[in-house]
């Protein structure tokens, strides 16, 4: 085996310090690595580790006050069954966010019931949250954009959603992406004994489909 020595010129510390390890003599600034922030539609059963991450994220979001209806942490088996149920229900579409591969947020689209022909164009968005440690990476916005493109591709032209008046971050995000507040529910939720209003939003995601989708009938409007 040969050993390569590097001469770096006279050393102020004397001849014995001329053979220098470059990694020690140069200032190396650590490279800042941005975490990979992605969103995806869940199209098959969740793996045990994904299910675990999803339940952990939900727990943290509930503790942080954004638990889409849950105010207390449900038992882990209930949460697992909830998410497993969402994935297999044909009327639901689940999107998840991942930060460096770890599931850390969701949103769901709920299709209208089949007999509701007059509202077959509109899909409802719910369970939209990003767990506190993963906030600020643009994941909530990406989830919404993914939900919109998915809904559009599935033939829907309107997304409806509702949110507590206290969820100010979410409200700013929805309004910045063109969701229009069309109503206020005065008795939307009760949190710690206090009545909280709810804001109802809608967004037209496909103007063409809005004009044409739906069963053609001779029904009066």
Name the one range near ligand COA by CB under 6 A: 162-170, 180-188, 191-199, 201-209. 162-170
Applying CB under 6 A, among 10, 35, 101, 138 the residue interacting with ligand COA is 138
Backbone phi, then psi, for 146, in 5-degree steps? -65, -40
Tokens, residue 27:
């200032």
Q: Is 159 in the site for ligand COA (CB under 6 A)?
A: no
Q: Is 181 in the site for ligand COA (CB under 6 A)?
A: no
Q: Is 167 in the site for ligand COA (CB under 6 A)?
A: yes
Q: Is 70 in the site for ligand COA (CB under 6 A)?
A: no
| Closest CB 107 distance from ligand COA, rounded Å | 8
Backbone phi, then psi, for 98, in 5-degree steps? -130, 135
- Measured CA to CA, the distance from residue 214 to residue 122 in angstroms comes to 10
DSSP-based three-state secondary structure for 126: strand
Q: Is 39 in the site for ligand COA (CB under 6 A)?
A: no
Backbone phi, then psi, for 22, in 5-degree steps? -55, -40
Name the one range near ligand COA by CB under 6 A: 7-15, 78-86, 138-146, 199-207. 138-146
Q: Is 199 in the site for ligand COA (CB under 6 A)?
A: no
Tokens, residue 15:
């001849």
Q: Is 129 in the site for ligand COA (CB under 6 A)?
A: yes
- How crowded is the C-beta side of 134, counted as CA atoms within 13 Å? 32
**CB nearer to ligand COA: pick between 120 and 199:** 199
Q: Is 189 in the site for ligand COA (CB under 6 A)?
A: no
DSSP string, 55-114: HHHHHHHHHTT--TT--SPPPHHHHHHHHHHHHH-TTEEEEEEEETTEEEEEEEEEPPPT
Q: Is 35 in the site for ligand COA (CB under 6 A)?
A: no
Place of tokens 């998915």: 150
**CB nearer to ligand COA: pick between 111 and 124:** 124
User: Which residues are at the interface with ligand COA (CB under 6 A)?
Assistant: 61, 66, 68, 128-130, 135-141, 163, 167, 169-170, 172-173, 176
């Amino acid at each position: 085996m040969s050993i390569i020595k590097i001469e770096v010129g006279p050393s102020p510390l004397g001849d014995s310090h001329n053979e220098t390890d470059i990694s020690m003599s140069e200032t190396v600034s650590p490279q800042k690595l941005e975490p990979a922030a992605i969103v995806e539609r869940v199209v098959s059963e969740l793996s045990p580790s994904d299910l675990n991450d999803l339940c952990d994220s939900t727990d943290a979001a509930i503790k942080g006050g954004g638990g889409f209806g849950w105010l207390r942490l449900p038992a882990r088996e209930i949460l697992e069954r909830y998410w497993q149920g969402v994935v297999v229900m044909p009327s639901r579409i689940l999107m998840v966010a991942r930060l460096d591969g770890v599931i850390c947020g969701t949103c769901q689209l709920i299709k209208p019931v089949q007999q509701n022909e007059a509202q077959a164009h509109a899909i409802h968005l719910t369970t939209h949250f990003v767990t506190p440690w993963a906030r600020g990476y643009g994941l909530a916005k990406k989830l919404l954009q993914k939900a919109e493109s998915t809904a559009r591709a599935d033939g829907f032209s309107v997304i409806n959603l509702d949110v507590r008046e206290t969820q100010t971050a979410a409200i700013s995000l929805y309004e910045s992406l063109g969701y229009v507040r069309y109503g206020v529910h005065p008795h939307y939720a009760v949190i710690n004994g206090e009545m909280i209003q709810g804001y109802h939003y809608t967004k037209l995601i496909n103007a063409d489909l809005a004009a044409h989708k739906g069963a053609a009938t001779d029904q009066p409007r």
